[in-house]
Amino acid sequence: MVAPKNTFKQALIQGQRRIGCWMSFAEPITAEIMGTAGFDWLVIDGEHAPNDIRSIRDQLMALENSPSHPVVRVPVGETWLIKMVLDAGAQTVLVPIVESAEQARELVRACRYPPDGVRGVGAMASRATMYGAVDDYIQTADQEICLLLQVENRAGIAALDEILQVDGVDGVFIGPADLSTDMGFQGNSAAPEVREVISDALNRIKAAGKAPGILGTNDDATQTYLEMGAQFLAVGIDVMLLTQASRALAAQWKAK
Ligand SMILES: O=C(O)C(=O)C[C@H](O)[C@@H](O)CO
């Protein structure tokens, strides 16, 4: 079997815009449904959704034949967690709350095999190699893995230029909910002060030759981030899609 190419990473390198969606149900069946919607990428959220390594693996399996590229967000940037999601077959990893270049360098090392990194070699028994069927996985994995870091507080913003110098970081995602809360706006990411910081950060990320990313949870925010130049842009969350549609439907028919 030929080692899988990371088409999402290639698209980011080529400067293409990628429209995605968050998945917070932590269920393979909803991942499978989302995989039919036409998004370029889908986040399997290990930070705020009730996922474990088995549910992450099952959602990766559910998306196997989907054109939507799975991005696994680990709960924290720990080497052992990154090792597990890579072995489960993730090629793109999103790490929350990155605050320094040193942390970014450690995360790059967590994604790479020795001698460049510290990823343990258990490939033959893992899903990443289709249980040994991909002969050249170890030789090709480092270049196919896409590492996306989340900068989402004042410390991260202060360290952004240094983080952007770290080789092996493919993109930086600004977390509007966390950033606005850390800035004292309690989740109000539409506050002008927050929007200004987001706009400046997205510009700096692009200028450094990395892909800028963000999540908009309503049309106004999404349109604003699009105009600010977000390249990998999540435009919603599956749970919110269901809550909004089901509440609107109930209200529509109860009002008759
Ligand atoms: O700070 C943010 O915004 C994010 O990191 C995305 C969120 O975690 C979220 O809205 C998805 O649960």
Instruction: Walk along the chain (256 residues) and give the pLDDT tens digit of each residue.
Output: 888 899 999 999 999 999 999 999 999 999 999 999 999 999 999 999 999 999 999 999 999 999 999 999 999 999 999 999 999 999 999 999 999 999 999 999 999 999 999 999 988 899 999 999 999 999 999 999 999 999 999 999 999 999 999 999 999 999 999 999 999 999 899 999 999 999 999 999 999 999 999 999 999 999 999 999 999 999 999 999 999 999 999 999 999 9
Q: What is the pTM of this model?
A: 0.97
Residues 6+ apart with CB under 8 A from 84: 53
User: What is the dihedral sign for C-alpha 26, 28, 29, 35?
Assistant: positive
Atom number, ligand 1, closest to the C-alpha of residue 217: 10
Atom number, ligand 1, closest to the C-alpha of residue 176: 3
Region of residue 21 (phi > 0: left; psi between -120 and 50: alpha; otherwise: beta): beta
CB-based contact 96:47 (threshold 8 Å): yes
Fold of 7-254: TIM Barrel (3.20.20)
Whether 48 is catalytic is yes
Instruction: Tell me the C-alpha distance between 26 and 8, whole Å.
Output: 22
Region of residue 89 (phi > 0: left; psi between -120 and 50: alpha; otherwise: beta): left
Q: Write the residue with the smallest CA distance to atom 10 of ligand 1.
A: 177
Ligand 1 binding pocket includes 215 (Cβ within 6 Å): yes
Is this complex scored with an ipTM above 0.90? yes
Q: Write the residue with the smallest CA distance to atom 5 of ligand 1.
A: 175
